[in-house]
Amino acid sequence: MSCCSGGYCQFKFPEGPPLVDNPVSSLNASYQFLPYGTLLSEGEVVRIWMESGQAKSVIIEEKIPLSFSAQGAFSEEWEGRVFPWQLIALDSGMEYEDLMNWPSHPLYNPNETPVLLKFCHPIDVKPSLKMKFLGWLYKLRNL
């Protein structure tokens, strides 16, 4: 898979859970706006990825289909819920103005329902000094 037409940043993702359709700006992203929807479902383990080729496994906590109101734009409150649209734009790698006025964007497709994904990051256990020391002793014992 190549992320650029020049071919200078070619990489391959290792086997694992499915990848989300678009890259995120950070592996710590909590949200992602997918303008053309997705077949992924809530509770599914997926990998978010960056254009640099880094990937991280996360769980889809919520999949929220977005429909547009008569004025054709998102508001801070969406169907009774308040979403951090600036954080969503930052995590998705989009401009805030483009996201808020998506129906007027040149890439907007009225036949596709955009989706907002909310991710749950599993806890990564950092090895303690004791665990590292015991691992080192185990390696010495097995020499």
Q: Which residues pair with 73 in a beta bridge?
A: none
Write out residues in the chain with pLDDT < 50, as ranges.
Answer: 1-2
Quickly list H helices, 1-143: 85-92, 96-100, 129-141
Round to whole Å and give the CA distance between 139 and 80.
Answer: 56
**Which token pair is 115?**
């989706």
73 close to 62: Cβ distance less than 8 angstroms? no
Q: State how far the alpha carbon of 102 is from the alpha carbons of 13, 23, 68, 99, in Å.
A: 30, 18, 9, 5
What is the C-alpha to C-alpha distance for residues 131 and 40, in angstroms, rounded to an integer? Answer: 37
The pLDDT of residue 1 = 46
Give per-residue pLDDT as tens, 15-26: 778 888 888 998
pLDDT the model gives residue 53:
81
Question: How far does CA 107 lie from the centroid of its chain?
Answer: 20
| Rg (the chain; Cα; Å) | 19
pLDDT tens digits, one per residue of 84-101: 889 999 999 889 888 888
